[in-house]
Structure 1
Amino acid sequence: MNVPPIRVLLLEDDPADAKLVGQMLRRVKTTPFEVTVVGRLAQAVERLSEGPQSFDVVLADLGVPDSSGIGTLNALTRVAPRLPVVVLTGNDDDAVALEALKRGAQDYLVKGLGDAFILSRVVRYAIERKMGEEVLREARDSAEQAARAKSVFLAMMGHEIRTPLNGVLGMARLLLETDLDPRQKSFAETLVSSGELLLGLVNDILDFSRLDAEGMTLAVEPFDVLDTVEEVRLVLASRAAEKDLALSCRFGAGVRRVVSGDRLRLRQILFNLVGNAIKFTDRGGVEIGVEPLAVEQGQILRFSVKDSGIGIAPEIGAQLFTEFWQGDSGAARRFDGAGLGLAICKRLTDLMGGVIGYDSLPDRGSTFRVDLPLPPAESPLAEQSGGSERPCRVLLVDDNEVNREVAAGLLQRRGHHVVCACDGHEGVEAAARGGFDLVLLDMRMPGMDGIDTARAIRALPGEAAKVPLYLLTANPVKEDEARWREAGILGCLAKPFRFDHIGHLLSGSDAAPRASAQDTDLVEVAGLLSDMGDLGRDRMVGLVELFRTSSAADLAALADHAQAGRLAEAGQLAHRMASAASSLHLSPLAAKCRAVEDAARSEDPETMARAEELADLWARSLAAVGRVFDL
């Protein structure tokens, strides 16, 4: 049986050394070698550029007439990154050897210190290791691609499932406000409770899947701890009141209110813990506590959730933070849930560098503790005296006219000065002039997207580069997060966003008229009418008409692109429509636009059918807005 030879490219300028290496390799009878000798780096690069597949390995002296040292190795690995390189040199320097291995060399041999057998074995092992690296690299790339696909799928499913489910719950709650006989009322109440359970399960599973599959990175920004805790209490107060439970907060002395960390992750932990405490407590109450722990540097805050509920038996405590596990069988039958809440809390706490634990006795209640490092910080957007708002200069960069009008109107009504830019280039030019307290960047703009714009702003000289940057997007995708964080963006807001999400930039909203029940399935009426209270009815009507005109043109062009198979262009138009629809709180329409965008990105053959569904929903959504404003 003929064994194919190992093809060696030998970079060696000394003819005697080159001849000796060739003789040593040919002396090994078990493995045939085919050696090609070049004396200059340029010649080696030329041969590898013509066809790196012509060789199996490179043996290289780092000191040749046209190159020396690690630069020689860098040039070889750059031109043929998938080919193993073994350094064969007269320089017996451990520091150089270590550096060579760090830069990609498979091995480092010193001339004269080995025989033919050792040399041939090193070459063969180098080839095998490189092949192993390639297999691992391909497996890693495949796993990353699968994780990205899962991330996009989860983002889409979040919209596709939760949007109609919220509509079902909203209509069921409205049904409960009508005149129903006892039997009908029981049916409606069951519909609401079952829908809320399903929504909670969907949220938990999606959150856990994101943590498990792709990981989460933290948004580190200033926020008010006590406001965050109070927000959790207010949201869950009605659930506690339904069981006649007291829900209170206790703040210890010495807590620095404005800290640096991830507010949303902290809020998610507290929602899970307080929600569990309410669920497992029938009498008494639940208390949320915050107190500082004594540390030499920074600040560690202890968040505690204390209840007077059923408690936890010692024998089941070891499994408490295990996913899909919920107490004993009796508890699992009595209390609904997927058993993911505490598992999510544990993973989020670990991600934030904290510790979670609990104290409990059966029938004596439980206290869960979360210790998190949250160093004090200064809010860049609000004065510290009472949290009062100050006028800010805001640069708003968005290519969509509807989005600019809505955002600028709301900011201006609250006393802020807004400068609008229609694209990334205008945004960079405006930022270069300086004087801004905040920059809001649309994610996807033609020519120069939000991330590229952020990089250009961060590259500006002087103070202009230090302005806080936030990203706006109608379709946030997890795979983009590493890119925008690397570009110096502090956070990402999904449209439609409330401006109180950005520190204390904005606060409160004016009273708004009520809308008819028939519109709530197509329009997020509360948000739309709240914005109308800020902008005024005439301006909101003008924005609706502007959206009607611009989106009609986009919709027609989208259908043409989809029918012709130009899916990239169709996806861009769908994204633009989603952005504007979100700003007007047309949530189902925005979700359908995102579905069309995702289908176009994945080259789904059903994109055309989805575009036709989008046209029908667009007409019904605008009709619903017309009913809200009596148009």
Structure 2
Amino acid sequence: MKEWAAWFRRRPDREHEITLNRAVISLAILIFTLFFMPRGETAFAARLIAVLYLVSATLLLAHLLWRPGISTVRRIVAMAVDLVLLSFGLAIGQGSVAILYPFYYWIILGNGFRYGEAYLYSATVAGTLGFLAVILSSPYWQSQPLLSGGLLGGIVILPLYAATLIRSLSRAKEAAEQANRAKSAFLTSVSHELRTPLNAIMGSTDLLVDTTLRRDQRDMVDTIRVASSALLSQINDLLDLSSIESGRLRLTPVTFDPLELLAGVRDVGAVQARAKDIAFHLFATARTPSLLTADERRMREVLINLVGNAIKFTETGSVTLSVDYVEGKGGPSLLFEVEDTGIGMTDEEQQVIFKRFTQANATILNRFGGTGLGLAIVRELVELQRGEIEVSSRLGTGSLFRVRIPVRKATEAEAPVGSLLSETKVILLDPSDVYGGVVPPVIQRDSGIAVLAGTVEQAVTQIVLPAPDEIRHRVVLLVEMEDGWPEQADPAQFVSHLKTAAPTGIFGLSRRSNGLPAAAVRHIVPCIVGEERFGEDLMHAMRLVRRATEAASGSHSTIVRREKGLRILLADDNRVNQKVISRILEAGGHHVKVVGDGEAALDAMEAGGVDFVLMDLNMPGMDGVESTKLFRMMSLGRPHLPIVGLTADATKAASDRAVGAGMDACLTKPVNGPALLDKIDLLFAEHGDGAALEENRRPVADLKLVSETEVPSARAGEGDQHVDTAMLKNLETLGGPAFVAAVISDFLTDGSALLLELREVVAAGDVAGYAEKAHALQSGAGNIGVLRVAESCRNWRPQSSQELVKTGPGVVERIEQEFETARSILLRQHARRPLLISDRDQGA
């Protein structure tokens, strides 16, 4: 029933109200005509009309369920059915059914208030004609002209008066909708303005994480990350609320792995729990499938919100996230439970926590902060998925949130789990020897090792002190739990021992593994393996541990430098964004060119030398959308250049605008460093073109920025881009100024000779010779920190003599230009003693 109520609430109008009322009333009328209407000549006809009305009401309800959208035709048909059958009934039933006259007002006013004045006037005209026909055709109503005339006048006058009320209501509704639109626009604008500085904070924090920090500095950086993530979460709450209110939030079902979903939520929750020194437990039943279909993103938002809320209100103890797969009358669903040992709530507080901008009580805001939106959005998201949520809590003890979300079994078959037991040692803690004859054969069949233990001490010894041939085996501990936790194994002692033993996984073992066990059991084991499906259940349990481990290991991702960097054009008018994003890209091994508006971006893309473009959507003058449109038109027939939009506007409209202009994707600020680099890798692999790479890497004079809005840090000195001064300082530390001067002299002399030789092998079309000379020059330049020369030598390798003869002269000319630039920088910065750069045999 709750699911249907939520479904009706999501409809765009209130037609379902009058449709449901019609079904109930038609049934009541039929009952009246069958059992309470006096027998007579007209009884049969009245009952026939009542049956016809019930059938019509049922068909209209069925059509509404089939086509739940707005239907003008259905409204008109329903109004006609109501008025025509009511008029026929009054005409045939005479005075015995006069009690049904007020239904004229129900029909006329109901249509008017729900659909507007046009429907009110239409229903008034139809109702007046219908009742007039009743008067003219019925002796009963003709015999009472004053009553008939008064009732006929009432059908005209009352709706006309109601029309003034409807106009006032419509104006008030329009004003409210306009205010709501203004609020939504305000929320979108504010979120955009907040995301821009937040982008700088989070991006800079990602960069700081990859530097060498003292412990207290790392603690401060972690604090910034947590605070900025919390702020981003609150901004997203506002956007979600705006989307829900405007009806723009839509479900996107995908095939997903529930265990991966849980592992990701666990990873987020575990970080927050560690910060408060509380335990975080995860439990999944073994019958939970590997593949299901639902809106994973919305489900993840619900769980992260509930888990974050539980941790927020828990000072000591633990938070437990559990999941079970349930087959019910309404189809399969996932049952989630989030239980905490926090402050709890009274019965009165439980009634208000799902209201927007509402806290359980007045002290919550001061003690814990928050917007009062989280649980309201959770309920909206759950109901959007046709699910249900309930809460039970005791003040001072804790709370339990239970969420049930419908899912579908995935159409594609689950990938084989495969055996994880071939290098696994399974220790069975079974004091009563219940499963001694069941577990070992299954383990040994899959080339695993099974060991029986009667006490906790024996089990811990097997974990901590493996045999020499078992050192490389993963260790799994199974605990017999047929009647709950074994009496011979004290839980406190058990957990204490395991802190030092640290097996790969600890699972319960019972004859049946269905359903969620007691909370105390879930605090110790993440899954219970059943005897009936022992092998399959154990595989799923180990997969749960593996998913959680993989998620945890990837949670603190750092920026990894790519071996083959791309030439990326960054178009953004905000100097802070320029600095942060370009530093992230450079840290990832990419080469960055920065411009500050769409026109400069268009010129840079057209000039070439670009492999990938990051384009801000909103820039002064020509924005990123217009620039992309023009470039796509100008580059028709040419290799595809990947362009990705950047915007602080997290709405779907902004993303659609970017993609519609020809961008390959749209990313939302603030950007996460590792995630941005991974996204670039993914999008370049998907949208990049090998031919485009060669085309866009054609020789250019240099990588000078084409706008005066370049990153300030990139302009620290002209040598920074051509010569690595830090490397030269290291060389000076190693051997002193004379040593550096000698090295520079050797490089410049050798480099001049190699450039001449490069000219010769290019003219001769000698591909192997070019590779040898270019590699030698690259090696020398790299060792001394002459970056541009080394980069140019590395970036191009001819595949044929024809390509070398055709393109080689331009490449060599560019290398010579960069070499001469480096020469002038080196001579100017190290002119304390003369450097001989002509003939090596003359000495230095």
TM-score range, shorter chain: 0.3 to 0.5
Taking structure 2 as the reference length, what is the TM-score of the superposition? 0.36
